[in-house]
Amino acid sequence: MRDAYQEQLDDLATGLAGMCDDVAAAMRKATRSLLEADLQLAEEVISEDTGIDDVRAAAEHRAFGLLALQAPVATDLRIVVAAIHGAGDIERMGDLALHVAQAARRRHPQSVLPDEIKPYFAEMGTVGVRLAEKAGQVIRSRDLETAGELESDDDAMDDLHKHMFTVLMDRNWTHGVSAAVDVALLARFYERYADHAVAVARRIVYVVTGQMPGPLTV
């Protein structure tokens, strides 16, 4: 009986880690659609988002089932609670990748981004994907050192986000208000995507230590 229960807990974690892989792939494709004005990639991200939503619903169903039927305590309870909240964070990451893809589709065949802005968003995409993939690794391994690395990766995203406002406020900006709004919103999507990945890592620290951290300092 205990072996079956542990297998259910492991399956729950495996599902969440797989969700991280899915949202990493979504942001990778969304970023390419944004940089290359690739309508097909944008459509793929948009159509695949419902699959991520379905996985979240299934994970929550399993988690609530464990609460109701197994009455978990101590670490097991923390796993289930963290899974419920973590599934929401990861699903939101998928939504933010979806927003990026929708922006690319809305402006197609024109590019959303001025050429001089594209390298910054290419880097944001790289950082975001790395964060999602590391979040999946942390769920699988419960490694606190890797969890802590997400904080420094998130700092890099925050720096890029802040720099976008410097660019937009520069007197040499010549692309108009509409482009400025697009850039500001897209930068915010990437920044929030990174924040949710960090939130997932913090929940794993909670599972291991019993304490929900502020900034990770492991």
CB 121 within 8 A of CB 179: no
Q: How many CB atoms lie within 10 A of CB 11?
A: 12
Query: How confident is the model over 143-160, as pLDDT tens digits?
Result: 999 999 998 899 999 999
Query: Can you state the angle between helices 118-141 and 74-107, rounded to 10 degrees?
Result: 160
Query: How confident is the model over 105-132, as pLDDT tens digits?
Result: 999 999 999 999 999 999 999 999 999 9
Percent of the chain with pLDDT over 90: 86
Distance CA 153, CA 75 (A): 28
Query: Can you state the angle between helices 118-141 and 176-209, rounded to 10 degrees?
Result: 20
For the domain made up of 2-209, the CATH class stated in words is mainly alpha
> Exposed/middle/buried for 195, CB within 10 Å: 0-12, 13-18, 19+?
middle
Query: How confident is the model over 15-53, as pLDDT tens digits?
Result: 999 999 999 999 999 999 999 999 999 999 999 999 999
Percent of the chain with pLDDT over 70: 96
Query: How confident is the model over 167-182, as pLDDT tens digits?
Result: 999 999 999 999 999 9
